[in-house]
Structure 1
Amino acid sequence: MWEPIEVYGLLFSRVVVGIIFGMAVLAKARDLSAFENAMVELIRLPSRYSRLVALVVMAGESAAAALMFGNTLLLSLGFGLASTLLLAFTIALIMALLQKRRVSCGCFGSHSRSISFYDVIRNVGVLGCALLGTFLLSLGSGSGGGILEGVIASTIAAIFVTLLLHLREIVLLAQPMPGTSTPSTPGDR
């Protein structure tokens, strides 16, 4: 029997992975050539292979998103595929960051913004969800849950995805603007 935390956790993981990969595929499909160029720069791929690699990546992302709607076996395959893709891209991002290369990852249609540590955090967050989903599937057979659980888990997942996708902007918003002083507190006087 599935415990409520397992039901919510699995639903949450499915929605996060499904939304992230679905959005990624749609963004890449809007401008495939820009994604091809990003692949050439990010992983130093010879340009003659860029179209093939871009299409394979998009097919993998599409499959990962679609498998989030499947039964236990398909869901397990989807989490495994998502984890593999996320791990590969995270390694590529880390290598490029360590080499101090200013490149775009082409993720979510952003081709003008250079990669940053926030992209790594985003990928690790989604990878954590895929691994959580895999772990929860190993505890039982089936996803369980009803409409209410689905709505609650989906709402929390949508908020989590929004935070992950806008992490850089959220951090920048919380930092003081250059040239401004921080407000003093009465104890500072």
Structure 2
Amino acid sequence: MGYLALGIRCLIGAVFLASTVGKVGGRGAFGRFVSSVRDLRLVPARSAPPVALCVVAAESAVCLLLAAPGPDAVAVAGFAVAGALLTGFAAAIALSVRRGVRTPCRCFGASTRPLGLRHVVRNLALTAAAGTGAAAVLASGGARPDAPGGVVVTVAGGLLLGGLVVTLDDILDLFRPVGPAPGLARGR
């Protein structure tokens, strides 16, 4: 597997690991995720817990498949499952936003930011990355990166990009306009 495939493997793996941990780590995290699934109004309310459980299981499978050493087919399967999940997430979010649903994004745990177009775009960009990763694995013909320094830089770069994706909402919030400070006089 070439450097590109390794970097994307780290990127997608980090995103799905953070997503899985965010949904099941801590008190009440899974319950909040189930509520979010229910609030999307895409499945009957009684189906929200099993759907949420299936999402967490599939996200965990992506992590395991991308982290597992072995034949390239395992990594390609991980990228395929990731791509399918991300496409489904993008479609579900787009449909919910179109319906006017403003449920918080529970993609990575407890967040108060409502789902929106940026989440659709993020998931579609990650879908493209997963497809590129699968293609890179297949194109490498089983070749593995062999320069230790290159491997370290590639892994660090993939993990860094994954961290940026996970914290994207928080980063974008830093640039959101805020109202006037309390006590300041309005226009004269």
Unaligned ranges ≥5, structure 2: 182-188
- Asked if the contact 2:15–2:163 (Cα under 8 Å) also holds between the matched residues in 1, the reply is no
User: Hey, what does 1:185 align to over in structure 2?
Assistant: none
- Asked if the contact 1:10–1:143 (Cα under 8 Å) also holds between the matched residues in 2, the reply is no
Task: Provide closer, same or farther for how the CA distance between residues 11 and 40 of structure 1 changes in structure 2, counting only shifts above 3 A.
Answer: same
- Asked if the contact 2:32–2:110 (Cα under 8 Å) also holds between the matched residues in 1, the reply is no
Letter in 1 for 2:50: L
Q: 1:174, 1:104 → 2: CA distance?
A: 19
Unaligned ranges ≥5, structure 1: 181-189
How far did 1:45 drift? 1.9
Structure 1 segments of 4 or more deviating over 4 A?
175-180
Q: 1:67, 1:23 → 2: CA distance?
A: 15
- Asked if the contact 1:122–1:165 (Cα under 8 Å) also holds between the matched residues in 2, the reply is no
How far did 1:36 drift? 0.9
Q: 1:21, 1:110 → 2: CA distance?
A: 15
How far did 1:138 drift? 2.4
User: Hey, what does 2:90 align to over in structure 1?
Assistant: 90
Letter in 2 for 1:166: T
User: Hey, what does 2:4 align to over in structure 1?
Assistant: 9
Deviates more, 1:170-179 or 1:49-58: 170-179
- Asked if the contact 1:39–1:105 (Cα under 8 Å) also holds between the matched residues in 2, the reply is no
Task: Provide closer, same or farther for how the CA distance between residues 169 and 112 of structure 1 changes in structure 2, counting only shifts above 3 A.
Answer: closer
| TM-score in terms of structure 1 length | 0.82
| TM-score in terms of structure 2 length | 0.83
Task: Provide closer, same or farther for how the CA distance between residues 96 and 66 of structure 1 changes in structure 2, counting only shifts above 3 A.
Answer: same
- Asked if the contact 2:18–2:166 (Cα under 8 Å) also holds between the matched residues in 1, the reply is no
Question: Aligned to 1:24, which of 10, 19, 22?
Answer: 19
Deviates more, 1:34-43 or 1:78-87: 34-43
Task: Provide closer, same or farther for how the CA distance between residues 155 and 115 of structure 1 changes in structure 2, counting only shifts above 3 A.
Answer: same
How far did 1:43 drift? 4.3
Q: 1:114, 1:162 → 2: CA distance?
A: 20
Q: Kindly indicate which of the two structures has a greater share of residues assigned to helix.
A: 1
How far did 1:153 drift? 1.1
Letter in 1 for 2:126: V
How far did 1:149 drift? 2.4
How far did 1:47 drift? 2.3
Q: 2:96, 2:60 → 1: CA distance?
A: 25
Q: Percent identity?
A: 25
User: Hey, what does 1:55 align to over in structure 2?
Assistant: 53
